Amino acid sequence: MLKVPLSLYVHIPWCVKKCPYCDFNSHEVRSAFPQERYTDALITDLRKQAEVAHGREIISVFIGGGTPSLFSATSIRRLLAAVEEYLTLARHAEITIEANPGTSDQQNFAGFRDAGVNRISIGAQSFSNAQLRRLGRIHDAAAIHNAVTTAKNSGFGNINIDLMYALPEQSRRQAGEDLEQAMALHPTHISYYQLTIEANTRFHQHPPALPGSEAAWDMQQQGAELLAEHGFRQYEVSAYAKDDFACLHNLNYWRFGDYIGIGAGAHQKISCRQENTVSRCEKPRHPQQYMRHTFDDAPLETTRYLAQEELVFEFLMNTLRLTHGFERQQFERYTGLPFARLRSQLKPLQDDGLLIMGHAGARCSDMGYRFLDELLQRLLPARA
């Protein structure tokens, strides 16, 4: 298996308040949190992962959470200095940090930019104060405007806004108004995704009244049209970008690239030439357990290797999210398997009008894109 692009994901798990829809590995800050010790742990973890990189360039770094903007610019600077010390950053590497409008401030944003961060992702979710309260957000619409202005004044030219649709009791008109306000701030990228109810969340225990599937699809279609009218090109299910501003880090995920993961609960995927497969591992989820294991030099994770059927499914699960799907050479390069192996597996989906497949590759049809979850269910490997 040939080498594939390599990224770095950094997980900072703390947030001011856990949102009722959030199923990420995040923990509310109930008192002071161990910022310096955790940063030390990240750097120690990073040093241990240097061998995994095997001299490969890191094309992107994504600092996610939680709310990474809770960390000081000094901590982020220390972290990125360690990245440059232990790994090889590509010359024009994309370096992203997630920020919550409720925790942002001019000093931190300017400090993040000075530390080397060149892309910022602002979690707006909605511009309706009523919806923000329903979603358990700690900011209001004015804070979103302030955060974007602060980011621009701090030197960020690459700004993403996260926005959700199909919110509790939301109408098509209200969803459109949310999107219009986001575009009025002139970001370079908008992540526009549907609110869904996930297990182990407060919304799962106490479900709000959400729009039905037809209404949600109507909002999605309306959103895609509005975004296209304003020069945002859709390249993935929930991702829209101005020209040359697609998120390189997430594209690497969706193209089935490799990534190193450091931090509590971080996942990692590395292509293995000798085994002709992919290894996956996950770091301990709780921050205290993660730090303890890191400093004690105990095994941080259990590595497992994907069986061939899993490898194929994971490739398809990621690449079929992209509007252009995947190319034959990409499948063979990233999996080490012949493209011919897919034909019999994908033909029933092609016959049902869900996939468009040719000699050069495959992508979802419009109908397949709409029913992507159901399409992927049909591709799940049979259980032994």
* Rounded mean pLDDT for each run of 10 residues along the chain, 384 residues in total: 85 92 87 93 94 91 94 96 96 96 80 97 97 94 95 97 97 98 98 94 92 96 98 98 98 97 95 83 93 79 87 96 96 90 92 94 95 94 66
Residues 6+ apart with CB under 8 A from 20: 135, 136, 201, 202, 203, 206
> Rounded to an integer, what distance in angstroms lies between the CA atom of residue 260 and that of residue 270?
7
Predicted confidence at residue 296, as pLDDT, reads 85
The identity of residue 88, as a single letter, is T
Residues 6+ apart with CB under 8 A from 292: 298
Question: How far from the centroid of its chain's Cα atoms is residue 20's Cα?
Answer: 19
**How large is the angle between the packed helices 372-379 and 308-319, nearest 10 degrees?**
170
**Is cis: bond before 361, omega within 30 of 0?**
no
Predicted confidence at residue 65, as pLDDT, reads 92
Burial 296-316 (b: 16+ CB within 10 A, else e): eeeebeeeeebeeebbbbbbb
Measured CA distances, 97 to 2, 60, 130 (Å): 30, 11, 27
Q: Return the bridge partners of 308, or none.
A: none
The identity of residue 336, as a single letter, is G
Predicted confidence at residue 320, as pLDDT, reads 98
Predicted confidence at residue 2, as pLDDT, reads 54
Question: How far from the centroid of its chain's Cα atoms is residue 19's Cα?
Answer: 17
Measured CA distances, 154 to 117, 119, 248 (Å): 11, 11, 22
Predicted confidence at residue 301, as pLDDT, reads 63
> Rounded to an integer, what distance in angstroms lies between the CA atom of residue 190 and that of residue 230?
11
Q: Do the bridges between strand 277-282 and strand 267-272 make them parallel or antiparallel, or are there none, so unpaired? A: antiparallel
